[in-house]
Each structure stands twice: as C-alpha cells, then as structure tokens.
Amino acid sequence: MTLPPLPAALSEALGHAASDKRLEVLRRVGETGSISQAARDAGISYKAAWQAIDTLGNLSGQTLVERTVGGAGGGGARITPQGLQLLALADELALAREAVLARFAGGPALRFGLGLRTSMRNQLPCRVEAVEPLGPDDPTVVVRLRTPGQALLMSSITRESADLLGLHTGLEVLALCKATAVRIGRGEAPGVTGQCVLPGRIERLTRGQGRDEVVLALEGGGQWVGFAEHPFPARKGQRAVAAMASSALVVGLAG
C-alpha cells in the first residue's frame, strides 16, 4: 500500500504516546481487524481501547481507525492509511531513539523529557508505590507516587488511563502539575483529604500584585513552582511547603 505524504500534525501523536499502550492498541487493530480483540490482546478494557484510539486521533488530527459493518463476522474495525503511517513512523523513531541512547550510554541520565512538550512547569521523576482502585465500581484509581526526597504524592486518574499507561508498583514515571494549581505556605500544610504536600526551601521568590510566585528546591532534588498570597512573609532559603489536590497531579511516562 502506498502511504500518503506525512501530515505535520501526525507527529503530535508520537510525542505523547510512544511509551504507553495506545500505539500497541492501534497496531493490534491493524492485525486483528477488531477493537475488542485488540483490547483483549493488550490486556485492557474495550472502553480503554477506544479511548486510546480517540486520543491518538485527536493528537494527530487524523482518522486512524474506521468501523466496518456487515460481513460474516458482523463488522469490525479497519486501520486507515494514516494509521499505518503513524505506526511506520513510530517504528522508525523507536530505532533512532535506541541508537541515540546507545551512543550516550553511561552519560547523564536523560530518562525523562525527551519529546515531552507541555505547559506544566512542575515535572518530577517519581516511582509508583501503588495503584489503588477507590471501589469495585468506581471509574477512578489513586496512584501513590514516591518522590526522590521520599515524599508521598497521590494522583487521581481514570482506570482506563492507568491501564493504558501500564502503571504498576516500581514503575518510574513523571509527576506533573500546573504551577497555578499549587499553593505555597509556611510550616506544615493542614491535613486536607485529597491534598498532596511537598516540603522544600525557597529558591526564588517573585513578587506580584495579587500573589507571589515561589520556586521551591525540594528535598531529594528537583524544583516545584506555585503561588502564595501577596505579600508572602518569607525569603530565600526559608522552609515552605507546596500543596495541591490529587486531582491536579498528572502521571506521565518517558517518551
């Protein structure tokens, strides 16, 4: 099959999905001609499989899978030429990435951030400590994350997202959060259900009119950015804490 020229937007899907199960689902649809079979082969739910395809389609701006109707099997799914092109590009990029990483083996650790583009300033490598369903019929799970400084973070995400990311105990991930969702305070933050706390020392403090931007140097390494009410009664080097809702924390994987 002759593939069409590469649309510029198609590469957007690869920057977000190279390290999770979304491309695997697309590949298995191409092999089996069935969404349900692709879901079974990938070890995820039918709903999660459609979420994977929809997300890739949204990111690429292309129709990657088409439903088929009728026939002896009662219908199924067919991967489009754009879907095949995305998989071919993913394979080429994976080979190139491995070659580059092999060249730099033994050098500085560059596990995260390669190909990840986001407006979220807060990005911290963490390790998954547990993935806990909230209940038998609840559509969300709580992902417990341990930071390099041994602080515990909790992220509330959907079951489908956890499945597609292949989250499990011991997996290295990124904890991401918008700076605008982070509240900076002095001392210990009050115990609030669903709230995460990161302790650190003030590294930078930028005064504003209504609020001040604060950059914390975290215990164990890394930085975390948030905002405090103006005027924030603190100075560089003093201890402070960053607090945010578990629903504001996003879990990401290396590209």
Q: How far out from the chain centre does Cα 164 lie?
A: 10
State the DSSP string of the chain: -PPPPPPTTHHHHHHHHTTSSHHHHHHHHHHHS-HHHHHHHHTS-HHHHHHHHHHHHHHHTS--EEEE--TTTT-EEEE-HHHHHHHHHHHHHHHHHHHHHHHTTTSS---S-TT---S--EEEEEEEEEEEESSTT-SEEEEEEE-TT--EEEEEEEHHHHHHHT--TT-EEEEEE-GGG-EEESSPPP--TTEEEEEEEEEEEE--SSEEEEEEEETTS-EEEEEEESSP---TT-EEEEEEEGGG-EEE---
Segment 12-68, tens digit of pLDDT: 455 544 445 888 899 999 999 999 999 999 888 888 888 888 888 887 888 899 987
Q: Which architecture characterizes domain 111-255 according to CATH?
A: Beta Barrel (2.40)
Residue range 183-189: mean pLDDT, rounded: 77
The pLDDT assigned to 58 comes to 80
The pLDDT assigned to 16 comes to 43
The pLDDT assigned to 57 comes to 85
Domain positions in the chain are 10-103, 111-255
The pLDDT assigned to 171 comes to 93
pLDDT surpasses 80 at 226:
yes
pLDDT averaged over every residue in the chain: 82
Q: Which architecture characterizes domain 10-103 according to CATH?
A: Orthogonal Bundle (1.10)
pLDDT surpasses 90 at 184:
yes
Q: What predicted TM-score, i.e. pTM, was given to this entire model?
A: 0.72
The pLDDT assigned to 18 comes to 42
